């Protein structure tokens, strides 16, 4: 039996040709493809008043975002506990402390009322992440940030290609980041991007992503390097490699097909699964949404039984996520009421969502979910 995986990157002839060309060029580190990829991202995101830097991973983008926002020892950063470990680790890497906030039951994004209650004089930034099919209330995020003088790190790892009030995600936040890891909506094999508002922030990121070297990116984008430079700040090996950028360029050229397909599959899932009374589907009609994950919620007592029922029928499923505040490393950090996070974490699981799926595959999945509940009721 061919299993249906949760994730399946869309790797076709274009990515293979692009990789071969990048390898044949022989300039494997940061080079011309990285510059081209940043330009393509700017164009895709319709950005004219912001700066884009490609980096090695989404985690690197988060770490650099927090660094450039001036976050460090003694500071607190509010994050939804229902988030990726990369966000919590990036906060720790700056020397600051995460503060775990609950999510909204409808959107599964950060609960902004509860976030406001967690703000103290130590709070310097808030991480808001779009949980896939439904985006955060970014207008309110901006108001809150303004009221309390907070930096905002918008984790858009799951919302690349989506639009918020007509604007591309990535084009309006204080600091925004994407991940292009192997399973994301669009992949660079591994990669990330960070979008900032000022040239100074971009310059700092350029230095930090190259272990602090004041090596001009414009020189590297010509597949050359400056042999003399100064080092003025802490840095990391966080740059994007040419090979990865070449794959990213092949992928971004397909984003319109990827967005259309993923939104259509989300719509198919929502239509079929909303007929089942025990299933809660994402509250969206997928207009302007490019989902990375498709998730459902079911009664807690059914979640694991249904996952193994699906597994027996060749359908793999995933869990996004285990709440951050329950991990050993993070359990002692400050937290608010996390009752929604803890409830949702026991009900939720992710179904397969790829950029190219057949209706038969989708039907096999939705029929299997329907038959689980039918058999249970008999
Ligand atoms: C919401 C979110 N943020 C950040 C990351 C980290 O990205 P990367 O895997 O590229 O380091 C991920 C990765 O899965 C993620 O899901």
Query: Which residue among 216, 232, 252 closes a domain?
Result: 252
Helix residue ranges, H only, the chain:
13-25, 32-45, 58-68, 85-94, 112-118, 138-148, 199-208, 217-220, 242-252, 255-273, 300-312, 339-347, 359-377
Q: Are residues 264 and 330 located together in one domain of the fold?
A: yes
pLDDT digits (tens, 9 = 90+) for 62-108: 999 999 999 999 999 999 999 999 999 999 999 999 999 999 999 99
- Within-domain flag for 238: yes
Check whether 1 has a pLDDT greater than 80. Answer: no
pLDDT the model gives residue 93: 98
Q: Residue 8 falls within a domain, yes or no?
A: no
| Ligand 1 mutation target, pool 83, 154, 181, 293, most atoms within 8 A of CB | 181
What's the pLDDT at 2? 87
Domain annotation covers residue 4: no
Residues 299 and 154 in one domain: no
Judge if 306 and 368 occupy the same domain: yes
pLDDT of residue 259: 98
Residue 188 phi, psi (nearest 5)? -115, 20
Could you read off the pLDDT of 298-320 as tens digits, one per residue? 999 999 999 999 999 999 999 99
Residues with CB under 6 A from ligand 1: 57-59, 84, 86-87, 129, 155, 157-158, 179, 181, 192
Tell which residue, 90, 92, 30, 29, has the closest CA to residue 58.
90
Same domain? 242 vs 326: no
Residue 276 forms part of a structural domain? yes
Peptide bond into 353 cis (omega under 30): no
| Enclosing domain of residue 235 | 13-252
Quick check: is 6 in a domain? no
Summarised one tens digit per residue, pLDDT across range 223-274 is 999 999 999 999 999 999 999 999 999 999 999 999 999 999 999 999 999 9
> What CATH number has the domain bearing residue 158?
3.40.640.10
> Would you say 294 and 132 are in contact if contact means Cβ atoms under 8 Å apart?
yes
Nearest protein CA to atom 8 of ligand 1, as residue: 58
Instruction: Please state, in angstroms and rounded to a whole number, the distance separating the CA atoms of residues 48 and 19.
Output: 29
User: Are the C-beta atoms of 193 and 52 separated by less than 8 Å?
Assistant: yes
Listed in sequence order, the residues at least 6 apart from 173 whose beta carbon sits closer than 8 Å to its beta carbon are: 138, 152, 154, 156, 195
Interval 339-375: pLDDT, tens: 999 999 999 999 999 999 999 999 999 999 999 999 9
Same domain, 169 and 219: yes
Among candidate residues 191, 219, 252, the one where a domain is terminated: 252
Choosing from 223, 252, 281, the residue where a domain stops is 252
Does 58 map to a domain? yes
Atom of ligand 1 nearest to the CA of 129: 1
* Cα 118–Cα 123–Cα 127 angle in degrees, nearest 5: 80
pLDDT band with cut points at 50, 70 and 90 for residue 186: very high
With the most atoms of ligand 1 within 8 angstroms of its CB, the residue from 129, 155, 159, 179 to mutate is: 179
If asked whether residues 232 and 314 sit together in one domain, one would say no
What is the count of structural domains for the chain? 2
Which atom of ligand 1 lies nearest, measured to the CA of 83?
Answer: 1
- Packing angle of the helix pair 339-347, 300-312 (nearest 10 deg): 30
């Amino acid at each position: 039996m061919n299993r249906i995986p949760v994730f399946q990157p869309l790797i076709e002839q274009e990515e293979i040709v692009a990789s071969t060309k990048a390898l044949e060029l022989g300039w494997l580190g940061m080079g011309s493809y990285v510059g081209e990829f940043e330009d393509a991202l700017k164009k895709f995101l319709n950005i004219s008043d912001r700066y884009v830097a490609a980096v090695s991973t989404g985690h690197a983008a988060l770490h650099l975002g927090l660094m450039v926002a001036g976050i460090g020892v003694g500071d607190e950063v509010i994050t939804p506990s229902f988030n990726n470990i990369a966000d919590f680790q990036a906060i720790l890497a700056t020397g600051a402390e995460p503060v775990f906030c609950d999510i909204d039951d409808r959107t599964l994004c950060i609960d902004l009322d509860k976030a406001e209650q967690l703000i103290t004089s130590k709070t310097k930034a808030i991480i808001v992440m779009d949980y896939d099919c439904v985006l955060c209330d970014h207008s309110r995020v901006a108001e809150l940030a303004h009221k309390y003088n907070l930096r905002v790190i918008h984790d858009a790892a799951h919302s690349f290609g989506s639009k918020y009030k007509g604007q591309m995600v990535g084009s309006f936040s204080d600091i925004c980041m994407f991940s292009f890891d192997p399973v994301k909506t669009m992949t660079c094999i591994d990669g990330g991007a960070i979008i900032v508002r000022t040239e100074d922030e971009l310059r700092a990121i350029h230095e930090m992503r190259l272990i602090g070297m004041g090596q001009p990116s414009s020189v590297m984008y010509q597949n050359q390097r400056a042999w003399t430079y100064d080092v003025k700040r802490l840095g990391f090996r966080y740059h994007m490699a040419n090979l990865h950028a070449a794959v990213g360029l092949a992928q971004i050229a397909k984003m319109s097909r990827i967005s259309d397909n993923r939104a259509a599959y989300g719509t198919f899932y929502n239509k079929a699964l909303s007929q089942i009374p025990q299933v809660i589907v994402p509250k969206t009609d997928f207009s302007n949404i490019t989902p990375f994950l498709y998730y459902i919620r079911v009664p807690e007592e059914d979640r694991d039984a249904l996952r193994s029922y699906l597994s027996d029928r060749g359908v793999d499923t995933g869990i996004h996520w285990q709440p951050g505040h329950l991990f050993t490393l993070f359990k002692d950090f400050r937290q608010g009421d996390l009752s929604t996070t803890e409830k949702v974490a026991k009900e939720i699981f992710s179904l397969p969502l790829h950029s190219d799926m057949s209706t038969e595959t989708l039907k096999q999945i939705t029929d299997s979910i329907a038959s689980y509940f039918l058999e249970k009721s008999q």
